[in-house]
Amino acid sequence: MDSSKEVSLEIFPYIRVFKDGNFERLAGFEIMPPGLDPKTGVESKDIIILPDAGVSARIYRPSSASTTTKLPLVLYFHGGAFIISSIADPKYHSSLNALVAECNIVLVSVDYRRVPEHPLPAAYDDSWAALQWITSEEARGEPWLRDHADFDRLFLAGDSGGANMSHHLAMRLRDDVLGKRVKLSGIGMVQPYFWGEKPIGAEVADPGRKAWVDSWWRFVCVSDKGCDDPLINPFAVGAAGVEGLACKNVLVIVSEKDILRDRGRVYYEKLVESGGPAAVEFMEIEGVDHVFHIFDPSCEEAKRLFKRVASFVNSDGDDRKEGDRNVKGA
């Protein structure tokens, strides 16, 4: 047997690592070019936003967008456990076309660097640099953003690991000078990827799945704190929590069958307790699992998810009521 093909580690369903140090991704490696999507009427293009790091982004806009009406601007971070997927992943591309069409927004999807080529915190650093870029004069001069984006209605959004990074960006913004001039209108967190060493909720009754998810994080983050590293568990000892999260409003969406569901609910509850954002909203979608809307953006549950995000980004955050803190189901 060719020793170079002997497997030393497999992190299903993401990556297989060989004994010679090479690896192959098991998913999320397909490529879909940007362009006009005739089904949704959304068009997209790729640009380089961080030349030094080689980080690009895919900008989406409705093809019907007018220069006379500026649209909410969403900085988006895809999921994939920090290992797989990209802005060109066909599944993400289709899902974001549908999201942009429903929300009537301008969206910038960031192609941050991934593990294992670029160990953490590279993905977090790229995402922070992308936030700095989107608030820069250079971004304001980008033709699509200049003509169609309302920079005063800036949102962060992401699913899974991307939602995790959105949280950390808002916490970093709290303490950074950038936070003095940049005010986030909100964060849309879809099935956020938070975790911890001690099982909670559904994790208690499913130790096999708990160990499976444990292995994902331990592969991407070499830490003596394991799954209580502050990057994955914002409520672990020594973590910053959510106090002072630098945004006006937060929407947390979880899925009933997702093993990460209870972590998302805890995050929502901690936000409410903190009294920080003006409004914190919660949605649980029944009968579906993690990132179901990426795999099937045309299903009825995905359409409900997109409509909820559309309502969130197009509402006047200053008019939200205290009641918006209450749990809101599908």
Strands (E), the chain: 7-11, 15-18, 23-25, 36-37, 42-50, 55-62, 71-77, 106-110, 149-159, 186-190, 249-255, 279-285
Angle among Cα 164, 167, 171 to the nearest 5 degrees reads 140
Q: Let me know: does 299 contact 292? Beta carbons within 8 Å.
A: yes
- Which tokens sit at 233? 């568990």
- Which tokens sit at 147? 């003509």
Cross-strand partners of 44: 60
What pairing do the DSSP bridges indicate for beta strands 55-62 and 36-37? unpaired
What pairing do the DSSP bridges indicate for beta strands 106-110 and 55-62? antiparallel
- Which tokens sit at 146? 């200049």
Catalytic positions, written as ranges: 160, 258, 290
Residue 48, CB-side half-sphere exposure with 13 Å CA sphere: 5
